[in-house]
Every structure is written in C-alpha cells, then in structure tokens.
Amino acid sequence: MAAIDPVELTRTLVGFDTRNPEKTEKACAEHLRGLLEEHGFTVETHEFAKNRPNLVARLGGAAKKRSRKAPICFTGHTDTVPLGAKDWSVDPFKGEIKDGKLYGRGSSDMKAGVAAFVAAAIEERKAAEGGPGVVLVITAGEETGCEGARYLAEKKALGKAGAVVVAEPTSNRAMAGHKGALWLKATAAGVTAHGSMPEKGESAAYKAARMVTKLEHFGFAVPAHEAMGVPTLNVGTLKSGLNVNSVPDRAEIGIDIRTVAGMSHEQVRSRLEAYLSPDLDALEPIIDLEGVWTDPADPWVKTVAAAAREVTGEDQAPGAMTYFTDAAYLTPAYGTVPTVVLGPGEPAMAHQTDEYCTVDRIGEATTIYRALIRDWAG
C-alpha cells in the first residue's frame, strides 16, 4: 500500500477553498505542512501577507551535507482562480469523481500536481535521504502574478536546487519552458468638459480608441521560437469616463503580452511607447515575468521526457506552455537550472467551469515524479 494516495490527497486539497483573492491558502498549507512533517520533512513557512503562506520542505541531501549535488525541486501553488459567473454542475469543493474525472476548482490547476509530487516525495523519502535530496516549494498567490514565489526569491529563502519540476497542467507531457508575461496599463489623458460642449474639452476616450486600433496591428518583428511560436498581444480591458454627460479626461487600456525566449521586455515597452505616441500619456507594468526555457537537448530534460514517455506511452518532443508559472522567479533564483513543466492537469481545463483532472493522469504523474527522484539520487 502506498503511504499517500495522490488521488485522495487531490480530493482533500480541492476541499480547501483557496480562491485568490477571495480566500487564503492557510488551511491548505497547514494540512500539507503536517503531512510532510509527519513523514520526516523539515518544513519552513514563509508568509508574504497575513494568512498567505509559502512552504519550503526539505528532505535529505544537501540539507544534511551528504552530497555536493543540489537537491531536485518540485513546485506548485495552492491558490486557485474564482469560480466564474456560470453555475457549476458539481460542487466545486467536493472532489467528486465521475467517469474517471476528478472535478473541482483547482483540480487541474494545480492541486493534482501538488498532490502527486507530495505523494511521490513521501514514497521516495529513502532515496531522497540517501542522495542529493528533494525540496518542495509550495506557493501562495501564484494566480495574481507569482507573489509567493517572488517573495521567496527576494527573501533568499529557497536554498539550492539542481533542477526544477513545475507541476502545472501539461497532461503529463514534458515541457521545456513557458512564455513570458508582460502586462501593461496604457493611459490616455484628456480635458474634461460638459457633454453638451465637447469642443471645450479633449476626450481621452478617443485617444484610447486610436491606440487600441493601432495595437491590433502591432508587430513584434522577431522570428518564431522553435517551441513557443510567436509572441502575442491582447487588449483585455478598456476603461474610460465616469458619467455619460462629461468628456472623459482619463482612459486606461489593459494590455497582455506573451513573449518568447530571447525577447527583451524593456525593448518591447520602449517600442510600444513610440508606437502609441502621441496619444499615450503613460505605459506602466502590471506584471513583468520573463519566460523560462531549457534546451530540449539538455541531458536532464531528455531524462524527464523519457520518464514521461515510458509511463504515458506518448512520444512527444518537449514543447512550451503559453501560460506563466512560478519558475519565472524560482529558476533564476536557483541559478537558471534546467527546468521542466510537467503535471497531471489538463491545460484546457485551467480556470474553466466544471474544471476536472483525469484520475489516471494523477497516478501517472506520481510515477513519473518518483522515477525522477530515484534518478536524481543516482
């Protein structure tokens, strides 16, 4: 019998309401901390805000000075997005299993991934104790810009790691990285006036409209990446005016840019500032997360891909994800070590109503993670 059933642990984690920003991750993190300490892990708690805890759990290896090789790191977050406006057909916090699917908010993104690597690390604790070791970084606040991971990196609370596995949803396909995220707020300034005398004012709304039209045709002028493809730009929000009978003196545009490896976010911002002139008043970053990419020819990435192929029976070359992950902060903090994104969740189910994770994928991920821990232990 396994020490921890990853499917049942997923159901337990789904049962904690950790919607960000409505709720907090505290109860979920405390459950995981107790479970890990029960099985011999040393666990540190680092709160970046009240009741918003990150966990850094270590076992064996470098922590006990038995190896010069740094431990292997597994990481995942416990917060989820809100439920959305549409009604669910299942209880989003029950972890109901139907037709081989485990339903619930966070089942795919990404409590199944956290449950799988926690179960795998506990099962392979002897290998971890006898080798370089394992470190589990379980974060809060990922969905709102990797707040927890940023705090850990800035506080230098992570220690060392020789490689990173991000358990975000990939249907257990090994991914060699993910795109960067550059979210910007573009503002236009005007002069307010009575709506019956618009000639007395200057409309920020018209300026914003001109900028939005231009943004639809903005070109990044960079070649497509081998796995990430091309960078993208989306206008997500457009706000202007306080009342219908006044000329608006301010307008805001929310811009979501996803970059590919090798792009400079600073250069993108500079080009946009020039491109949106003269209607632009200011261009401010909301989120600025660089992408993560490890050459698929890296020996360890090949090992991960082979382990996934052996368990799933699916032969797919490592690709890249469009979403960002905590690796945007963790990988640089660890010295830009080899990093893969691999988790049991279904990428298309992330943030969806009636979110689910296929039950078989949870077992597959646990098996893959166990193999990686054993391989890392030599």
CATH number at residue 166: 3.40.630.10
Is it the case that residue 2 has pLDDT exceeding 70?
no
170 in the same domain as 80: yes
Residue 56 lies in a domain: yes
Q: Predicted confidence band at 105 (pLDDT cuts at 50, 70, 90)? A: very high
Report the distance separating Cα 268 and Cα 338, nearest Å. Answer: 26
Report, as an integer, the average pLDDT of 19-24: 95
Report the distance separating Cα 322 and Cα 344, nearest Å. Answer: 17
Report the distance separating Cα 29 and Cα 41, nearest Å. Answer: 14
Q: Which of 358, 366, 360, 353 is nearest to 80 (CA)?
A: 353
Is it the case that residue 63 has pLDDT exceeding 60?
no
The answer to whether residues 147 and 48 touch, using CB atoms and an 8 Å cutoff, is yes
Report the distance separating Cα 325 and Cα 341, nearest Å. Answer: 9
Contact residues for 289 (Cβ-Cβ < 8 A; gap 6+):
145, 146, 180, 181, 182, 324, 328, 329
Is it the case that residue 154 has pLDDT exceeding 70?
yes
CATH number at residue 231: 3.30.70.360
**Model confidence, pTM:** 0.93
User: Where among 234, 262, 289 does a domain terminate?
Assistant: 289
336 in the same domain as 192: no
Q: Two tokens at 182?
A: 């550059």
Residue 43: how many other CB atoms lie within 10 Å: 18
User: Where among 267, 289, 311 does a domain terminate?
Assistant: 289
Identity of the residue numbered 250:
R
Q: Predicted confidence band at 61 (pLDDT cuts at 50, 70, 90)? A: confident
SS3 of 227-250: the string is CCECCEEEEEEEEECCCCCECCCE
Residue 263 lies in a domain: yes
Residue 317 lies in a domain: yes
Percent of the chain with pLDDT over 70: 98
14 in the same domain as 126: yes
User: Where among 272, 289, 306 does a domain terminate?
Assistant: 289
Residue with tokens 């759990």: 57
- pLDDT for residue 65: 52
The answer to whether residues 222 and 231 touch, using CB atoms and an 8 Å cutoff, is yes
Report, as an integer, the average pLDDT of 147-167: 97
- pLDDT for residue 14: 98
165 in the same domain as 223: no
15 in the same domain as 156: yes
Is it the case that residue 62 has pLDDT exceeding 80?
no
Is it the case that residue 64 has pLDDT exceeding 50?
no
Residue 186's SS3 state is: strand
> 335, exposed or middle or buried, with CB in 10 Å at 0-12, 13-18, 19+?
exposed
Report, as an integer, the average pLDDT of 163-170: 98
Contact residues for 151 (Cβ-Cβ < 8 A; gap 6+):
46, 48, 54
222 in the same domain as 262: yes
Residue with tokens 């991960």: 304
Is it the case that residue 340 has pLDDT exceeding 50?
yes
Is it the case that residue 81 has pLDDT exceeding 70?
yes
Count of domains for the chain? 2
Report the distance separating Cα 255 and Cα 248, nearest Å. Answer: 20
164 in the same domain as 64: yes
Residue-averaged pLDDT of the chain: 96
Residue 1 lies in a domain: no
Kindly report, residue by residue over 186-240, the tens digit of the pLDDT: 999 999 999 999 999 999 999 999 999 999 999 999 999 999 999 999 999 999 9
15 in the same domain as 73: yes
Report the distance separating Cα 217 and Cα 231, nearest Å. Answer: 13
Domain that holds residue 26: 6-178+291-377
Q: Predicted confidence band at 67 (pLDDT cuts at 50, 70, 90)? A: low
246 in the same domain as 232: yes
250 in the same domain as 149: no
60 in the same domain as 174: yes
- pLDDT for residue 68: 76
Residue 210 lies in a domain: yes
Residue 249 lies in a domain: yes
194 in the same domain as 134: no
Contact residues for 109 (Cβ-Cβ < 8 A; gap 6+):
80, 81, 168, 169, 345, 349, 350, 351, 355
Residue 97 lies in a domain: yes
Kindly report, residue by residue over 279-327, the tens digit of the pLDDT: 999 999 999 999 999 999 999 999 999 999 999 999 999 999 999 999 9
Residue 117's SS3 state is: helix
